[in-house]
Amino acid sequence: MATLQDVAAAVEAGKVKLIEGITQEALDSGVPAEAILNDGMIAAMGVVGAKFQANEIFVPEMLVAAKTMKKGVEILKPHLAGDSVGKNGKYIIGTVAGDLHDIGKNLVALMIESAGFEVIDLGVDVPAEKFVEAIKANPDCKVVGASALLTTTMDSLKNTVKVIIDAGCKSQVKIMVGGAPITQAFADEIGADAYTPDAGAAAVKAVELLSK
């Protein structure tokens, strides 16, 4: 019968076709669903993120691991208490106004979800006001992520952060920023709480920000 370690190993290796069977077997052998989720899957994704940051694995390998977890979670859902999926609360994410790029943003969203958040994806070309609306509509959301991929939309990112702060949302959420032209220095300059260079780092940082 499958164990917690088998689930973790399957997620880590991206065994997308096997995960449903392995997850079901683990449930059948008496492993609690919460343990499978937290100590099996989320823990495995932590390892995946770390390996990616250490250049041991590549983006598609990280992507398939996250997709594997997502499939396994579907098996777990009926066995989980209502709010166990997304135990870290909600995470609002979007690409800023004027910018249409979504591949990197989607990858971050997937990794954030794998770290135990319920992701609310506002999509691309998101006006700053829409971020504020979403934050206010979700009082249990503690972290927001905004992305800009062009040098020409860096100002839009700056504005997004400013509008979120001016709307008085800073007492509720921490703001993370990212995207190809973004740097730590720029994030500091515009008043964001965190910058991460890649999706693996973003997932780690999001959890870290919860305890700040």
Question: What is the contact surface with other proteins in residues (CB under 8 A)?
Answer: 58-60, 63, 100-103, 106-107, 123-125, 150-152, 154-155, 180-181
Alpha helices (runs of H) in 98-151, residue ranges in sequence order? 103-114, 128-137
In terms of CB distance, is 44 or 63 closer to other proteins? Answer: 63
Closest approach of Cβ 60 to other proteins, in Å?
4
Q: Give the integer Cα–Cα distance in Å for 179 and 148.
A: 5
Closest CA to 179 of 158, 204, 165: 158
In terms of CB distance, is 5 or 184 closer to other proteins? Answer: 184
Closest approach of Cβ 16 to other proteins, in Å?
9
- The size of the chain, in residues, is 212
Closest approach of Cβ 83 to other proteins, in Å?
30
DSSP calls for 56-79: SS-HHHHHHHHHHHHHHHHHHGGG
In terms of CB distance, is 29 or 183 closer to other proteins? Answer: 183
Closest CA to 106 of 152, 71, 147, 141: 147
Closest approach of Cβ 177 to other proteins, in Å?
14
In terms of CB distance, is 56 or 129 closer to other proteins? Answer: 56
Q: Give the integer Cα–Cα distance in Å for 74 and 175.
A: 29
| Side chain identity, residue 167 | A
In terms of CB distance, is 34 or 198 closer to other proteins? Answer: 198
In terms of CB distance, is 59 or 120 closer to other proteins? Answer: 59
Closest approach of Cβ 175 to other proteins, in Å?
19
Closest approach of Cβ 147 to other proteins, in Å?
14
Strand order in the sheet with 90-95: 118-121, 90-95, 141-147, 174-178, 194-195
